[in-house]
Amino acid sequence: MPLPPLSQLCRQLGHQYKDLLLLDRALTHRSASGHNNERMEFLGDSIINFLMSHALFQRFPKANEGELTRLRTQLVRAETLAAVAQELKLSQFLRLGAGEIKTGGAQRSSICADALEAVIASIYLDGGMQACEKAVLPWFEARLERLSAENFSEKDYKTQLQEYLQKKQWALPIYEIMHTTGDAHQRLFCVTCTLPDCEYTVEGHGSSRRYAEHNAAELALQWLIGQGKKNG
């Protein structure tokens, strides 16, 4: 089945390319060609972090560094990027190898998120940072609008676990990578979180070390709270 014309995607992206080959490369998964979007994905990751940092810096002048970091994490995490990619219908334009097509790779969150980062890089390479900001910020506008001061109190699980332990004057948790599985584009990390004073260890899993550590911290915190209720 032939892919839709890229001119259709340009309208959805809000950017008219001078060099459409950049967009074509951004949409090409490594399973389809050696000339793929991996390098552009690397660049796009830095660009989206900068754009969201700048947008949050302007919108929340009273927020401190930690608060801004937590808000940015919500906007640039893989799940959010994949959702934006689906809203832009990127999956319809992805160039995938036969194996990925058969296994539904166009709908896989990791592939969609990576493609979005690559597309962001392609806009930057085609038109510069001003053109990139003009195109990309509207994709996140609704999410930026939903952010409020309430989000500042939403601490991640690693922070919550650390503060819980510090309040008890217990040793801080120890995180350790046990193993990773899967290909580079679909890797799964297994991380343990050990609570020394409790002699308790739990495993967390995620698509990156950070996500796996957060998952482990969440499970450890749930266990601690459960123990507290039992003892209470």
pLDDT value at position 155?
63
Is a pLDDT exceeding 90 seen at residue 218? no
Contact 154, 164 (CB under 8 A): no
- 125 and 204 in a single domain? The answer is no
pLDDT, position 149: 42
Within this chain, do residues 165 and 142 fall inside the same structural domain, yes or no? no
Q: Which of the following is catalytic: 41, 45, 126, 213? A: 45
pLDDT cut 90: percent of the chain above it: 49
Last residue of a domain, one of 124, 151, 178: 151
CA-to-CA distance for 138 and 41, rounded, in angstroms?
20
Q: Are residues 35 and 125 in the same domain?
A: yes
Give the tens place of pLDDT for each residue, 148-182.
544 544 467 888 899 899 999 999 999 999 998 87
Residue 77 has pLDDT above 70, yes or no: yes
Q: Quote the strand ranges of the chain, DSSP E.
A: 174-181, 188-195, 200-206
Per the structure, the count of domains in the chain is: 2
Q: Say what percent of the chain tops pLDDT 70.
A: 89
Active site residue 163: no
Residues 192-198 have a mean pLDDT of: 95
- Would you state the pLDDT for residue 191? 95
Domain boundary, last residue among 136, 151, 166: 151
C-alpha triplet 155, 156, 162: angle, nearest 5°: 90
Q: Which of 125, 151, 177 is at the close of a domain?
A: 151
129: CATH: 1.10.1520.10
Residue 1 lies in a domain: no
Q: Are residues 93 and 21 in the same domain?
A: yes
pLDDT band at 231 (very low <50, low <70, confident <90, very high): low
Confidence of residue 98 (pLDDT cuts 50, 70, 90): confident
45 a catalytic residue: yes
Show the domain range for 224.
157-231
46/95 same-domain check: yes
pLDDT given for residue 128 in this prediction? 96
Going 67 to 73 to 76 to 82, the CA torsion angle's sign is negative
Whichever domain contains 198, its CATH number is 3.30.160.20
**19-63, pLDDT tens digit by residue?**
999 999 999 988 888 888 999 999 999 999 999 999 999 988 877
Among 41, 67, 114, 117, which one carries the catalytic annotation?
117
